[in-house]
Chain A
Amino acid sequence: MAAIIGAIATTHVPSIGKAIAERKQGDPYWSPFFRGFDYVHDWLAREKPDVAVVFYNDHGLNFFLDKLPTFAVGAAKLYRNEDEGWGIPVARSIPGDPDLSWHLINALVADEFDITICQEMLVDHAVTIPMALMWPGEQWPIRIVPVSINTVQHPLPSLKRCLNLGRAIGRAIEAYAGNLRVMIVGTGGLSHQLDGKRAGFINTKFDQLCMDKLVSEPELLARYSIHDLVDEAGAQGVEFLNWMAMRGALTGRVIEVHRNYHVPISNTAAATVVLENRALAQREAA
């Protein structure tokens, strides 16, 4: 049976890709952020996940406003990145896991999540930068199932809906017959705003609340409306939807084992969190 080992959430600011390409990880501006990944590298080396289910938002690479799914699940053998137009290097391709993808797709639709199914899907920096941060070497030793959440075009799905989407995916992974070690990834955030006269908006207090409650009381965060989330986290801080879905997919006893928070990276409050998903006591006993 598949096991959900835990989750990693991280900011995906495009300029991180540039900093990696220019080897600036040790620069005073960048090191407080990159140092936060030392723990992540040790954790991944120890935990050795086979597959990552990645909750992210597309920024106009695979999807345009002509057809924009609220939730889309990848079912490709290989996910390519392409030129995104803002000068970050094109990343390597990432293998998929079509069997797990179709299992999740079948389970989600049976569970009344009417997702869009993508046998071809370009993945943008919101997937590739977390990969490069998690595995800084020559290889990304992982297969992925990308799950795209619309954070661009309002109306956006609610925090509650994203939490429940994650829960449905968590249940489906646990019911998967394949002997896989599955990790969950949530990308983007935390507070930031790129557009309008409020550009540069950061809310450290709200970010701390989100990180503090993510493990213990996600339902409390799920009560925020999208309007309130924009108000508190900034227009692009709504990427926290990806974190909520990630949290929902952790079905066991959840423990935060690592947190790094640093302001700013570019216009963004940068955060990295590692959560472990321990089996529930009654299941261990069963």
Chain B
Amino acid sequence: MQQDIPGTTLFDGNQAQKGFALNRMCFSFNSAENRAAFLRDENAYCRKFGLTDEQRAAVKSRSVLRMIEAGGNIYYLAKLAGIFGLNVQDIGAQQTDMTVENFKAKLVAAGR
């Protein structure tokens, strides 16, 4: 058995099966019309894609860690985050429980 990598969820077959509905919904956000439909009525939009209760609650909480737990893949979740005007640095900060400024500073420090 391979050692787990800390703070990392490999998007494997288990995650892919678990997260299918959530990721499919996020894939639909490639369309501006669909992004607008989600903003108009989030509950109806999630229902349309058959999200599980766990996925629905994770989306409602806006917590990326919870969405990953529910099978979300980051490339698809990033499309959802974009609807709320959040980029990968914002969601990086959210997942690591840092301010965005501190998260950015950590990345700059990694290059020194």
Contact = CB atoms under 8 A, between A and B. Distances in A.
A197 B35 CA distance: 27
Interface residues of B, number: 46
B27 A230 contact: no
Interface residues of A, number: 39
B43 interface: no
B16 A200 contact: no
Nearest to A64: B27
A72 to B, nearest CB: 16
A84 B82 CA distance: 10
Given A195-B9, A198-B6, A264 B82 contact: no
A197 B30 contact: no
B25 to A, nearest CB: 11
A154 B12 contact: yes
Contact of B96 (A85, A152, A200, A264): A200
A196 B110 contact: no
Contacts of B20: 65
Given A65-B23, A153-B16, A266 B87 contact: yes
Contacts of A65: 16, 20, 23-24, 27, 73
Interface string B21-46: 00110110111100100000000000
Contacts of B96: 197, 199-200
Contacts of B89: 266-267
A200 B7 CA distance: 11
A197 B92 contact: no
Interface string A59-91: 111001110000000000000001111110000
B103 interface: yes
A163 B43 CA distance: 46
Contacts of B106: 200
Given A86-B81, A194-B78, 5 more contacts: A65-B27, A194-B74, A194-B92, A198-B8, A201-B7
8 contacts: A60-B30, A64-B24, A85-B26, A193-B8, A198-B7, A199-B95, A263-B107, A267-B89
Interface of B: 2, 5-13, 16, 20, 23-24, 26-27, 29-32, 35, 64-65, 68, 73-79, 81-82, 87-89, 91-92, 95-96, 103, 106-108, 110-111
Enumerate the 7 nearest inter-chain pairs by beta-carbon distance, A residue then B residue, closest first. Answer: A263-B111, A198-B7, A197-B7, A85-B79, A195-B74, A202-B110, A264-B107
